[in-house]
Amino acid sequence: MSRKVAVVAVGGNSLIKDSQHQTVPDQWDAARETGKHIARMIAQGWDVVLTHGNGPQVGFILRRSELAAHELHEVPLDSCVADTQGAIGYMFQQVLMNEFRKMNMYKPVATVVTQVLVDRSDPAFQNPTKPIGSFMDEATARRRQAEGWHVIEDAGRGWRRVVASPKPLEILEQDVIKTMVDAGIIVIAVGGGGIPVIRNEQGDLQGIAAVIDKDLASSLLARNIKADLFLISTAVEKVALNFGQPNQVWLDHMTLAEAKAYMAEGHFKKGSMLPKIQAIIEYLEHGGKEALVTNPENIERALAGETGTRIVP
C-alpha cells in the first residue's frame, strides 16, 4: 500500500491540558500523550506533517522578557515564535522517536523552522485584535504606543498590546517540507502558524510583529503539498451545532456546503472552532479530499471512521 500524507494540526491541549498543568514537565506529559496517537497513525501507514499552536508558550517567553527588561534586551515577537517552534519541535521529535522505538519501527523525524509570508497591506494591520503579553497600566501603554505598539484598553482590566493576525500567503519553507515528506521524513513545521514575515521595500524578508492563525497556515500547507487528509486535533471529539446549548448536536459528517451553511448560521465560535472550519473550507475548496476534527485520544478511532467529524467536498 502506498503511504498517504496527512497534515495534523494539534491544538493547545497537546501541550497544556489545563491551567494547573503548564510547566515544561507537564507539557512533556501532554506531548507524550498526543505523540503516542500520532505515532500509531504513522505506524498504520500515514506520513505526517505535524503542525502545532504556541499561544501560551509565546506568552511565557514574553512574560519572562518583561520581567527581565531591567537587565536584558526584550525578545521580539517573531523571535518568540521561532523559539517556540524549536522547543516544541524538539518535544515532538523526541516523543515520536521514543514511540517509534517502542514499536520497533524506524522513521526519521525533523523540525523545520518555518517562515510564513504575509502582506504588509493586509487589512488586519489596520485593525490589530490579538492581545499579546501582560496587562499594563495606562502610562506604560501610552509610552509603548509612542514607540509604535498598538494598545487597547480591556474593559476595567488594564491595557494590553494587540497585534494583527494577517492572512498567511506563502509558506517559505514549503519546498523543503515537501521534499522531506517525499523522502519519508516525518516533519514538524509551521509551528504557531509560522513566523510572520513580510517583504520590505528592498524585497528582503523581514520578521514582523504579528501572529498567524495556526489552522489557516496548516490549511495552506495541506492544500499546497496536496495532503490526502487535513486532521485537526483539538479539545473536542467532534464538532457540534448549537455548541454548549441544550439542543447541542454532535456532527459525524459534514459536506463542504453544509459546513459553509452552518458557519453562516453562527454555529462555530470566533477564535476557536470558526478558524478551524474556515481552514477546512479553504482546504476542500482548493482540491483537498478530506478533513477530520477530533481530539488526540480519538485520532486512531476517527481515522477508522468510528468517531470525529469528517468533512468532505
Pick between residue 53 and residue 308 the one whose CB is nearest to ligand ADP: 53
**How far does the chain reach from its first CA to its final CA, in angstroms?**
24
Q: How many helices (H) and strands (E) does the chain have?
A: 9, 17
Helix axes 77-102, 55-67, angle to 10 degrees: 130
User: Which entry of 191, 192, 194, 214 is annotated as an active-site residue?
Assistant: 214
Q: Interface with ligand ADP includes 239 (CB under 6 A)? A: yes
Q: Interface with ligand ADP includes 77 (CB under 6 A)? A: no
Measure the CA–CA gap between 171 and 175, rounded to whole angstroms: 9
Q: Active site includes 184?
A: no
Q: Interface with ligand ADP includes 311 (CB under 6 A)? A: no
Please report how close the Cβ of residue 83 comes to ligand ADP at its closest, in angstroms.
19
Exactly one of 68, 72, 235, 257 binds ligand ADP (CB under 6 A); that residue is 235
Q: Interface with ligand ADP includes 283 (CB under 6 A)? A: no
Nearby residues of 202 by Cβ (< 8 Å), 6 or more positions away: none
Please report how close the Cβ of residue 254 comes to ligand ADP at its closest, in angstroms.
11
Tell me the site size for ligand ADP, rule CB under 6 A: 14
User: Which entry of 54, 193, 276, 308 is annotated as an active-site residue?
Assistant: 276
Q: Which amino acid is at 100?
A: F
CB neighbours (10 Å) of residue 124? 19
Q: Active site includes 287?
A: no
Closest residue to ligand ADP in the complex (CB): 11
Please report how close the Cβ of residue 70 comes to ligand ADP at its closest, in angstroms.
33
Measure the CA–CA gap between 297 and 311, rounded to whole angstroms: 19
Stretch that binds ligand ADP, among 112-120, 136-144, 177-185, 236-244 (CB under 6 A): 236-244
| Grid coordinates belonging to 301 | 478511532
Which uninterrupted H or E stretch holds 28?
helix 24-43
| Grid coordinates belonging to 246 | 441544550
Exactly one of 273, 279, 281, 284 binds ligand ADP (CB under 6 A); that residue is 273
The residue assigned the cell 514549503 is 174
Provide the β-strand partners of residue 162: 131, 150
Q: Active site includes 276?
A: yes
Q: Interface with ligand ADP includes 80 (CB under 6 A)? A: no
Exactly one of 125, 230, 268, 283 binds ligand ADP (CB under 6 A); that residue is 268
What residues are annotated to the active site?
12-13, 130, 214, 276
